[in-house]
Amino acid sequence: MTVLVNKDTKVIVQGITGREGSFHTKLMLEYGTKIVAGVTPGKGGEEVHGVPVYDSVRDALDHHEAQASIIFVPARFVEDAVMEAIYNGLNPIVVITEGIPIWTTMKLVSEAKKRGIYIVGPNCPGLIVPGEIKIGIMPGHVFTSGDVAVISRSGTLTYEISKVLSDHGFGQSIVIGIGGDPVKGLTIPEALRLLESDPRTKKIVIIGEIGGVEEEKAAELIKKGEISKPVVAYIAGKHATMRTGVSFGHAGAIILGEMGRPETKIRAFNEAGVPVARLPTEVIDHLRTL
């Protein structure tokens, strides 16, 4: 048993007939993910890499059992797709799509919360339990199975750091890419709480970045003693302080006045006893000493 998903979780791909959806369906299948159906309105009856396509989530669920959804539909159609997943009780819902208006995300997350459903993302690489299941777009080969959990606001930096972890014998219990948007489903503090009760996770790596207050809220939680497992952090964007009010690639990576500054995040972690790696590669040095 692990958090959010396990090797038996059955998955629906929404937006399966698009370029990204189809490409990653193939990669997820190769990784061993149990994708039972795809959904694209108007494409019911087709097949993508041997996966049957339906017009609606409802129709897919009438023919297959499934728990989770991964969503690739373009930003302007995402509201409908996520609502559909929520109303049909899929959980978790992993939203890969980038570029969703923040007001829309706010509405979707609020709907999901009312029903106790987890949204991961949007604008995220998804999640992977190495060796078991991948609901996402990350390159599977850089991850190895182990007991270090990774929570990250980034994509490629997660692959980079996970590879360093793997190369040095620190396998991962789960890697969750929570995404780069300012408003999102699963946040760092929420992910920490889930991992605290995950028996397979012994240590946690947080890959944060400038913008927002999630790192500070996470540090607060740790300081209060609600997270007992050792945590190591890395913060990207330390040099971004010279351009405030501008997004660095991720919509959420933005310093607004006093909010979202890297030094505040680093200080908060330090005060909570969380070592912050200066270089991404230094994460392993801290893991060794914890």
Partner 1 sequence: MFLYEHEGKKIFAEHNIPVPPSGVAFSPEEALEIAKRVGYPVVVKPQILGGRRGKAGAIRFADNDDELMKHVNELFALELHGEKVERLLIEKKVNIVHEYYLSYMLDFYERRPIVMFSTEGGIEIEEVARTKPEALVKKYLDPEMGMTSFIAMEVLNKLNIRGAEAKKFVPIFLNLWKAFKEKDLLLAEINPLVKTAEGEIIAVDARVMVDDNSEYRQKWIKEFKEKRKGKESLEYQAKEKGISFVVLDGDIGVIGNGAGLTMATVDLVREFGGKPANFLDIGGGAGPERVFTAIDLLLKLGNVKVILMNIFGGITRCDLVAQGILEALKKLNLNIPLVVRLTGTNEEQGRKMLEEAGIKAYTNMIEAVKKAVEIGRGGE
Interface residue list for partner 1 (CB under 8 A): 75-76, 99-103, 106-107, 109-110, 137-139, 142, 152-160, 180-183, 187, 207, 209-210, 212-214, 217, 234, 236-240, 242-253, 257-258, 278-281
Separation between Cα atoms, residue 78 and residue 85, nearest integer Å: 10
Question: Position of tokens 């409802």?
Answer: 58
Nearer to partner 1, 196 or 282 (CB): 282
Question: Position of tokens 């509201």?
Answer: 79
Report the catalytic residues.
250
In the complex, minimum distance from the CB of residue 163 to partner 1, in angstroms, rounded to a whole number: 8
In the complex, minimum distance from the CB of residue 78 to partner 1, in angstroms, rounded to a whole number: 11
In the complex, minimum distance from the CB of residue 177 to partner 1, in angstroms, rounded to a whole number: 10
User: Alpha helix locations (H) across the chain?
Assistant: 19-31, 57-63, 78-87, 102-114, 156-167, 188-196, 214-223, 262-271, 283-289
Long-range contacts (CB closer than 8 Å, 24 or more residues apart) made by 162-165: 164/280, 164/281, 164/283, 164/284, 165/205, 165/283, 165/284, 165/287
Separation between Cα atoms, residue 16 and residue 39, nearest integer Å: 6
In the complex, minimum distance from the CB of residue 192 to partner 1, in angstroms, rounded to a whole number: 14
Q: Residue type at 43?
A: K
Separation between Cα atoms, residue 109 and residue 190, nearest integer Å: 13
Nearer to partner 1, 15 or 237 (CB): 237
Tokens of 111: 């709907």
Q: Residue type at 171?
A: G
Nearer to partner 1, 227 or 251 (CB): 251
Nearer to partner 1, 144 or 247 (CB): 247
